[in-house]
């Protein structure tokens, strides 16, 4: 089935399944749409939704922002890239930097790439450009944030780091994936006057769990990982578009985009398809 002939309803169905974490091969089996067509849809939708959110998630009147990074890998884990056959560019560890509004739950900014200082600077510069006012910011203890926050905000931020302390993994968990138990946390003021009771990364860490649960490429201990870094980034754009504009937040009872005043209406999948169609029309015109 050619993507040019794929009706809007079929596109909406495929995008919904992508956003809910269904694998491309499973979508092919369930919908009859070819995998090649789905890959083309993934690429176009990823670009369209990334550009749309880049354009609309601006002038946000957020009060508290939490940031974190979530790990995945592309093609092979970093330690195995050297011996992997025909490993493409971008193979290895891949991180998604996430900035979430603690009140509206809007993911205001994200960035897919490495975990070094240059990505921290790019992520923080983008986040700062989307905010209309001074915010309280909380991150984990990653050192890259120190320079990145200073460069993006200067002194115009109330910034603190929350460093969690973990105990040793129990004997029963050794040899398999099992996180160590968190035994405490240290709050450290870095800049400005952050309110200690709001120094938290709970919402962004919960969002990281949502990403893992809702995106097949992020599921641990499976072979569902991305094979191309570009496709990983496209899937993140689709996921965040659906999360921000379509998926009703269980606590808020509205979407994060509505809570943040980015849109006044509840979106449906057909609205996401319309964004894609508008983007395609611009590509043809260009």
The full set of domain ranges for the chain reads 3-159+199-285
The per-residue pLDDT for 169 is 64
pLDDT exceeds 50 at position 3: no
The per-residue pLDDT for 224 is 43
Mean predicted confidence (pLDDT) in 174-189: 74
Cβ(50)–Cβ(201) under 8 Å? Answer: no
Q: How far apart are CA 278 and CA 128, in angstroms?
A: 28
Q: How far apart are CA 237 and CA 242, in angstroms?
A: 9
The per-residue pLDDT for 35 is 92
Cβ(235)–Cβ(18) under 8 Å? Answer: yes
Question: Residue 72 — pLDDT band, cuts 50, 70, 90?
Answer: confident
Q: Which fold has domain 3-159+199-285?
A: Nucleotidyltransferase; domain 5 (3.30.420)
Cβ(255)–Cβ(244) under 8 Å? Answer: yes
Rg (CA), the chain: 20
The per-residue pLDDT for 260 is 97
3-state secondary structure 94-160: EEEEEEEECCCCCEEEEEEECCCHHHHHHHHHHHHHCECCCCEEEECCCCHHHHHHHHHHCCCCEEE
Q: How far apart are CA 215 and CA 123, in angstroms?
A: 21
The per-residue pLDDT for 1 is 42
pLDDT exceeds 80 at position 77: no
The per-residue pLDDT for 170 is 63
Average pLDDT, the chain: 86
Q: 11 or 285, which is more confident?
A: 11
CA 51 to chain centre: 14
pLDDT exceeds 80 at position 108: yes
The per-residue pLDDT for 225 is 47
Q: How far apart are CA 140 and CA 117, in angstroms?
A: 14
pTM of structure: 0.86
């Amino acid at each position: 089935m050619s993507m040019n002939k794929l009706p809007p309803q079929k596109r909406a169905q495929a995008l919904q399944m992508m956003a809910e974490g269904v694998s491309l091969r499973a979508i092919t089996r369930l919908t009859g749409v070819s995998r090649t067509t789905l890959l083309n849809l993934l690429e176009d939708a990823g670009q369209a939704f990334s550009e749309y959110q880049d354009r609309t998630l601006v002038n946000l009147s957020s009060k508290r922002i939490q940031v974190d990074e979530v790990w995945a890998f592309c093609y092979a884990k970093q330690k195995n890239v050297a011996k992997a056959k025909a490993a493409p560019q971008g193979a290895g560890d891949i991180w998604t930097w996430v900035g979430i509004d603690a009140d509206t739950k809007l993911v205001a900014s994200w960035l897919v790439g490495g975990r070094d200082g240059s990505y921290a600077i790019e992520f923080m510069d983008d986040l700062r450009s989307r905010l209309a006012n001074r915010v309280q910011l909380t991150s984990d203890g990653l050192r890259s944030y120190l320079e990145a926050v200073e460069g993006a905000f200067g002194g115009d931020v109330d910034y603190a780091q929350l460093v969690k302390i973990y105990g040793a993994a129990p004997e029963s968990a050794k040899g398999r994936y099992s996180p160590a138990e968190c035994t405490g946390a240290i709050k450290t003021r870095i800049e400005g006057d952050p309110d200690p009771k709001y120094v938290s990364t709970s919402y962004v860490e919960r969002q990281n769990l949502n990403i893992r649960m809702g995106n097949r490429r992020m599921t641990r201990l499976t072979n569902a990982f991305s094979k191309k870094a570009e496709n990983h980034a496209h899937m993140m754009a689709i996921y965040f578009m659906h999360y921000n504009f379509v998926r009703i937040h269980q606590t808020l009872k509205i979407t994060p985009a509505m809570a943040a005043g980015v849109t006044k209406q509840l979106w449906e999948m057909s609205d996401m398809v319309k964004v894609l169609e508008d983007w395609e029309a611009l590509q043809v015109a260009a």
